[in-house]
Amino acid sequence: MSGAETHEAGEHGAHPTDAQYVRIAAILAVVTGIEVGLFYTSFAEVATNVVLLVLAGIKFAIVAAYFMHLKFDNKILRRLFVTGFVLACFCYFAYLLTLGVSV
């Protein structure tokens, strides 16, 4: 193993194996199936929307962590990404409140 390969592995950590990527894809498929199933249920609209938002957030976190490799990058990059995302969520909710939408 050359020095460049060692440096890359140490800097980013160990990436998932193919089997782990298949498991991640299966989890994403199950969560998507739950979302599709909720769309066709007759639960209260507000409760369904909240659950759909939570499931979308879970899928977003999994995709960002594994497929965007944030889980394996430097901690400062993760913090910057999460901080920007949280700020965007607060701005979105503030905008909804100005429109009179209850959150």
Q: Is the pLDDT of residue 102 over 90?
A: no
Q: How far is CA 34 from the centre of its chain?
A: 16
pLDDT the model gives residue 87: 92
Q: What is the mean pLDDT of the chain?
A: 81
- The answer to whether the beta carbons of residues 16 and 66 sit under 8 Å apart is yes
Beta strands in the chain (DSSP E): none
Task: Please give the Cα distance from 59 to 52 (Å, whole number).
Answer: 11
Of the chain, the percentage scoring pLDDT greater than 90 comes to 20
pLDDT the model gives residue 34: 93
Backbone angles phi, psi at 33, to 5 degrees: -60, -40
Mean pLDDT of 79-90: 87
18-39 and 45-62 are packed helices; what angle lies between their axes, rounded to 10 degrees?
Answer: 170
User: Distance of CA 76 to CAs 6, 40, 60, 81, 83, Å?
Assistant: 21, 41, 19, 9, 10
Q: Is the pLDDT of residue 41 over 80?
A: yes
Helix (H) or strand (E) holding 35: helix 18-39
Q: Is the pLDDT of residue 68 over 90?
A: no
**Global pTM value:** 0.66
